[in-house]
Structure 1
Amino acid sequence: MSTKTSRLRRTVVSTFSVLALSAAGAGAATAESASAPTGSGWSTGCGIGSAPVDGQHTVSSGGRARTYELHLPAGYRTWRAWPVVIAYHGRGNTGAGTQAFSGLDNLPAIVVYPNGVIGTGDGERQAWEGAPYSAPGVDDVAFTGDLLDSLESDLCVDTRRVYATGKSNGAGFTGILACELSDRITAIAPVSGAFYPTGRPCNPSRRVPVIDFHGTADTTIPYAGDADRGLPAIRDWVGAWADRDGCRTRPHETRVAYDVARYDWHGCRSGSDVAHVAVVGGGHTWPGEDSYSGGGYATHSIEAHDVMWTFLRGQRLPRH
């Protein structure tokens, strides 16, 4: 089917769906979708009568068939634009594995768990762009753009509220997205992030809100950094984002629990909040894990998905 024919079909289906919903007494909600102003965040998938179901789906990117797990929130309907959370797994894990331990399915958002491409060395495990063991020639930034195009075409997406999180290598990749896809990624929430140097400049087109989680006793990605692997100290990495976002120099510290400290940078420009959550004695783990997420201590004093959502949900891309 040609692109022109596909768009015409989508327009016809969307119009028919709007009329059917109106006849069923849902006209007010449908009218809100149909009359949403340019730049409001409503995607082309709004008003379509059917939607993909939960489970694994495929999208073409860079000549490859790329897979992802999709979870729709309870009460998903196509006359409301929903925020999106993209969760990138750690090295050697999968989208389904991250879905199992993260608790992200509990959020009132469309949650997507993409799968990386098998990288190089040490068991040939799935990985993401930017790490020294990632698959050569794979453009995961472009894949993320293609994934968003597909989601926005098939689902009712609030394009101003697209958030990225991830674990370890996947968390490190969210840092790349913040640098290189800030026109589509609203904010990021890396967990136990592996922030390898890429040699590419970080020049986001806008100030990007960041909330970072890391265990102080993480032996896989050390909190104090690892010069031999080019990994920065975590507080330095977050501080660099505070500088980019024009925040005040010193963060405000709050003791959230006996094993959790939080640091918030205030006075950031354009509402681009920056925060860091340190799990005291925490390992290479996801706070509040529902199942095994990595080696070392995992706190249950907080749930990472709840804390990050409180931070992320109010962040929006500027209107165009």
Structure 2
Amino acid sequence: MNSLQRMATAAVSLVLCVGATGAATAAPVAAHAPKGTSKSACRLPAPQQPGTSELRTISSGGRDRTYQLHLPDDYAKKRDWPVVLAFHGRGNTGAGTEEFSKLSTLPAVVVYPDGVIGTGDGDRQAWQGAPYAAAGVDDVRFTEDLLDRLEATLCVDERRVYATGKSNGAGFVGTLLACRAADRIAAIAPVAAALYPTGEECEPSRPVPVIEFHGTGDATIPYTGDADRGLPAIRDWVAGWAGHNGCAPRSRDRVTGSDITVTRWRGCDRGAEVRHVAVTDGGHTWPGADSYSGGGYTTQTIEAHEVMWRFLRTFRTPAPSSPRH
């Protein structure tokens, strides 16, 4: 009996150590999720056929909002699944982003929210933070309402929620969502981000790991920035996140493919590493897309969904002191 007690104590200590560092293995592990609605939701039947995507509606901020929900093929095997939130670019939709991003091939519940029609030319959906976004729309609150819905109805791991996006959606992730909701977003992966100034300081409640993708030949959101629109140079913006995360000031570049250079900042607080993936001559596109994702050159040297997943899947938010629900 004493031997068994010592083994049990060691196992508990190991779980606590993993939770404290924020690192994890690739597979979702049920023991790391807090006890709450998401755990009881694991006993609920799947709301749709595993392996499928369906358009769903939720009320947030007095509006009916929509999102495309994709369940992995083997969702029926009850375990706490990670969640990937994917925010579309201006004028696109969640369903459109699903088509080119290949995110629905990941071992995760993938959610593609839809923005609200903004201002400017045509009926184009957009996200908070951009100058053309609809006035009075709180997309951070919408995202949190959406996470509440997912955690109440699906078997998901509340500590393994990741956010990515393209263009305007990526800008929303990098300038607002990760800054205001770091307690719920474990790590982010902006792609070709439109990083418009929001007028507020980004002060996340914890270091947020970041992997960012951008083409050096992007004519829509220039890699070197655009002072007239208040857009920063991309590498400077990523270095700013490294500063937020307390990383060592010196970065290291590594050429990993004929048109791919990866910059890494290490020594970051709580292991919150920052990486920048530059695509030489790349356009306003999603790396690895085999259908239209934007103007300019699309590299096939890497698949963005695979590269970001290898990075994102290792991070968790800290365990809450009590259930959110």
Cα distance in 1 between the residues matched to 2:299 and 2:258: 10
TM-score by length of 2: 0.86
Cα distance in 2 between the residues matched to 1:287 and 1:161: 24
1:116-195 equivalences in 2 (<5 Å):
116-175=115-174, 176-195=176-195
Cα distance in 2 between the residues matched to 1:249 and 1:36: 32
Corresponding letter in the other structure for 2:241: W
SS at match of 1:67: strand
Per the alignment, residue 74 of structure 1 pairs with 73
Shift of 1:91: 0.2
Question: Is the CA contact (8 Å cut-off) linking 2:34 and 2:158 kept in structure 1?
Answer: no
- The yes-or-no answer on 1:238 pairing with 2:238 is yes
Per the alignment, residue 8 of structure 1 pairs with none
Q: What percentage of aligned pairs have identical amino acids? A: 62
Shift of 1:47: 1.5
Question: Is the CA contact (8 Å cut-off) linking 2:285 and 2:293 kept in structure 1?
Answer: yes
Instruction: Pick one of 48, 62, 65 that aligns with 1:52.
Output: 48
Change in Cα spacing, 1:259 to 1:106, as seen in structure 2 (3 Å) is same
Per the alignment, residue 201 of structure 1 pairs with 201
Change in Cα spacing, 1:143 to 1:44, as seen in structure 2 (3 Å) is farther
Per the alignment, residue 29 of structure 1 pairs with none
SS at match of 2:140: helix
Shift of 1:52: 3.5
Corresponding letter in the other structure for 2:223: Y
Structure 1: state its 5+ residue gaps.
Answer: 1-31
Shift of 1:45: 1.7
Write out the 4+ residue segments of structure 1 that deviate beyond 6 Å after TM superposition: none
Question: Is the CA contact (8 Å cut-off) linking 2:243 and 2:249 kept in structure 1?
Answer: yes
Question: Is the CA contact (8 Å cut-off) linking 1:246 and 1:269 kept in structure 2?
Answer: yes
Cα distance in 2 between the residues matched to 1:41 and 1:300: 41
Cα distance in 1 between the residues matched to 2:188 and 2:118: 24
Per the alignment, residue 312 of structure 1 pairs with 312
SS at match of 1:99: helix
Per the alignment, residue 251 of structure 1 pairs with 251
- The yes-or-no answer on 1:298 pairing with 2:264 is no
Q: Deviations over 1:79-104 (max 9, x none)?
A: 20000000000000011110000010
Change in Cα spacing, 1:207 to 1:39, as seen in structure 2 (3 Å) is farther
Question: Is the CA contact (8 Å cut-off) linking 1:101 and 1:290 kept in structure 2?
Answer: yes
Change in Cα spacing, 1:257 to 1:205, as seen in structure 2 (3 Å) is same
Question: Is the CA contact (8 Å cut-off) linking 2:84 and 2:163 kept in structure 1?
Answer: yes
Per the alignment, residue 15 of structure 1 pairs with none
Q: Deviations over 1:249-275 (max 9, x none)?
A: 121111111101000101011010100
Shift of 1:50: 3.5
Cα distance in 2 between the residues matched to 1:47 and 1:285: 40
Question: Is the CA contact (8 Å cut-off) linking 1:171 and 1:191 kept in structure 2?
Answer: yes
Shift of 1:40: 9.3
Shift of 1:77: 2.5
Corresponding letter in the other structure for 2:236: D
TM-score by length of 1: 0.87
Per the alignment, residue 5 of structure 2 pairs with none
Structure 2: state its 5+ residue gaps.
Answer: 1-28, 321-325
Question: Is the CA contact (8 Å cut-off) linking 1:100 and 1:290 kept in structure 2?
Answer: no
Corresponding letter in the other structure for 1:51: P
Corresponding letter in the other structure for 1:162: V
Cα distance in 1 between the residues matched to 2:48 and 2:271: 34
Structure having greater relative contact order (Cα 8 Å, sep ≥ 6): 2
Cα distance in 1 between the residues matched to 2:38 and 2:178: 22
Cα distance in 2 between the residues matched to 1:130 and 1:183: 20
Cα distance in 2 between the residues matched to 1:39 and 1:211: 30
Corresponding letter in the other structure for 1:234: I
Cα distance in 1 between the residues matched to 2:111 and 2:151: 12
